[in-house]
Amino acid sequence: MIRRCETESYPEAANNAPHHLQYHSPLILNERSAPMRIGFIGLGMMGKPMAVNLLRAGHDVAVVNRSQGKVRELADMGARPCASPADAARGADVIALCLVGDVVVESVLRGEGGALEGAQPGAVALDHSTVHPEFARRMEAACAERGVVYLDAPVSGTGQVAWDGELTVMLGGGAHAMERARPALDAVSANARLMGPVGSGNMAKLVNNMVKDINQLGVMETLVLGAKWGLDLGLLVSVMRSGAAASRQLNRIAPKILSRTFEQTSYVSTNIKDQGLMGWMIGQAGMELPLRNAARDSWQRAADQGLAQADPTEAVKALEREAGVEVKGEMRSDYGRTASNPEETLDDLTAALYLAGVFEAFTLAAKLGMDAQAMFEVMRTASGASAQLERAAEVIFGGEPQASAPASVYASLYEPVLENARREGLRLPLHEASADVWRKAGGGDDAEVFARALGLREDAAGIRLRGA
């Protein structure tokens, strides 16, 4: 069996793109691949489904975790329980880590009983943790002292995406080491791409996460605004899912928020941690990114209201408290764009926000010397994916932007919406930052407006991204 990745609910954008921008899924899980001996350390929300998929693919998996309940679950499925990271690494071809934070990763790799004590020369350490890029380079050097090859390999995707083995993996390191780890990568991912030397995987993950955070919080602001207007939120989401605001984040978070379920798949505190790493990257580039800053402040505001250990979707409660509304409703399957003007207006403004965020992300990536085309190819299957990512790619890589609301109307659409929101004391920092971009971009045809909107970021960064 061979699995392929498909776009979610915005296939038109990907299918109508020029050939060089269309997503051609790699052939990924060939069940005839030779089984590997894999030591897997860390069975959290992401690690557990990854380890399960490695077992399902026929690999010999040894597992270690702080809490033993998950170890027993995996042992019942055929994994070998181990007492320490060193035991799990002993004899392994690949040592996979899926942990939280630099301190924990270093302890598990280099501490007493750590993986490097048991690792054999020639083994590949596949670090799926999201860590500081400079820390990843230090771990590369520490592994090299023991003859182990280190790859930073953070992943994007959560929940069902992880269980289905459809993650996106962004790798930093050597191409030969990546190919040696390919059978393990194929078992857990739909798209695994080498982004550059060690550290590049985490840089790509952070750029993607920047867009993911902007999209996710932008959707929350839109839903709160829709609730404030008294709209049928199920209809609003239906319009957005079939319209310009289609995105992976909308698909993932809207059902949870409308149903008030808030199943735990991550933590607000994790997003704040990642925002700190983004801050280092942005500082290296010497840039100011207004939408990213608004997202950072929104996560912190949610944490300040007692939501640090909540699922990120619960951050909507901080916005709800300020607005005096609750976002809830029934999801609808009638995706037809039959709504009245307010739903279509919010769809267009959310799309405008996505676009402004993508422009920030790609100018940051270019300023840091990253490969823009490779960044696009990983992001379109990762948590930052959206119809507007595909549209922005037309501007960045050449060509005419795809059909959607004329970009020249974004500023005029924003003006009455935000003026009314301010009058009611409703705080919408991401939409405010987006409106400022489109106000400065001015009028004209789409190509001109897009070029000016992107140019604002290019000029601030002192680079030219278009035609990359």
Q: Which residues are catalytic?
A: 205
Residue 113 and residue 231: Cα distance in Å, rounded?
57
End-to-end CA distance of the chain: 36
Please name every residue paired with 370 in a beta bridge, in sequence order, or none if there are none. Answer: none
Please say whether the beta carbons of 202 and 152 come within 8 A: yes
Question: What string of DSSP letters covers 35-79?
Answer: P-EEEEE--STTHHHHHHHHHHTT-EEEEE-SSHHHHHHHHHTT-
Question: CA-based angle 71:76:82, to the nearest 5?
Answer: 35
- Work out the number of other CB atoms within 10 angstroms of the CB of residue 18: 12
Residue 226 and residue 199: Cα distance in Å, rounded?
41
Please say whether the beta carbons of 165 and 52 come within 8 A: no
Give the DSSP H or E segment for 164: none
Pair of tokens at residue 227? 């609730």
| Beta carbons within 8 Å of 150's beta carbon, 6+ residues apart | 124, 125, 127, 136, 139, 140, 142, 143, 144, 173, 198
- Work out the number of other CB atoms within 10 angstroms of the CB of residue 324: 12
Residue 227 and residue 333: Cα distance in Å, rounded?
19
Pair of tokens at residue 16? 């109508």
Tracing tokens 């007493």 back to the chain, one arrives at 112
